Amino acid sequence: MTIKTIESNKAPQPVGPYSPALQVDHLLFISGQIPLTHDGTLIENDFEAETRQVLDNISALLSDAGLDWSHVVKVGIFTTDLSKFNEINEIYADYVRAPYPARAAVEVAALPKGARIEMEAIARVK
């Protein structure tokens, strides 16, 4: 088994002891991304901007692994407000194309740094 850490200068540094992404053989596991900019600023008070920042962070990690959203096979979405589900879907649709990744969306009580949305992803490596 080959394990490689993937980091991006276009995505934030981890807020704990974990890798932003790990490539394990032919799979890339992207850790949960919250709406932090690459310099660690939390995007707040604009749910669309927060969601786009999360998706942009995932995009940056995919890019640094030589991949894009067409390689993503599974996405986990965590939000503190599931009433935003339709808004999440509209924004998410700007990033993914059919065949769409498998996905789960879950409402949670709280997220790191007070974020309102977090996403993780698994991608297949070419």
Task: Sort 90 into a burial class: Cβ within 10 Å, 0-12 / 13-18 / 19+.
Answer: exposed
pLDDT at 72: 98
Whether the per-residue pLDDT at 126 is higher than 90: the answer is no
Reading the block at residue 106, the tokens are: 């879950």
Three-state DSSP class for 77?
strand
Q: Which two tokens stand for residue 76?
A: 């986990």
What is the extent of the structural domain holding 84? 3-124
Domain count, the chain: 1
pLDDT in tens, 68-110: 999 999 999 999 999 999 999 999 999 999 999 999 999 999 9
Question: Which percentage of the chain shows pLDDT scores above 70?
Answer: 100
| Predicted TM-score of the model (pTM) | 0.97
CATH assignment at residue 41: 3.30.1330.40
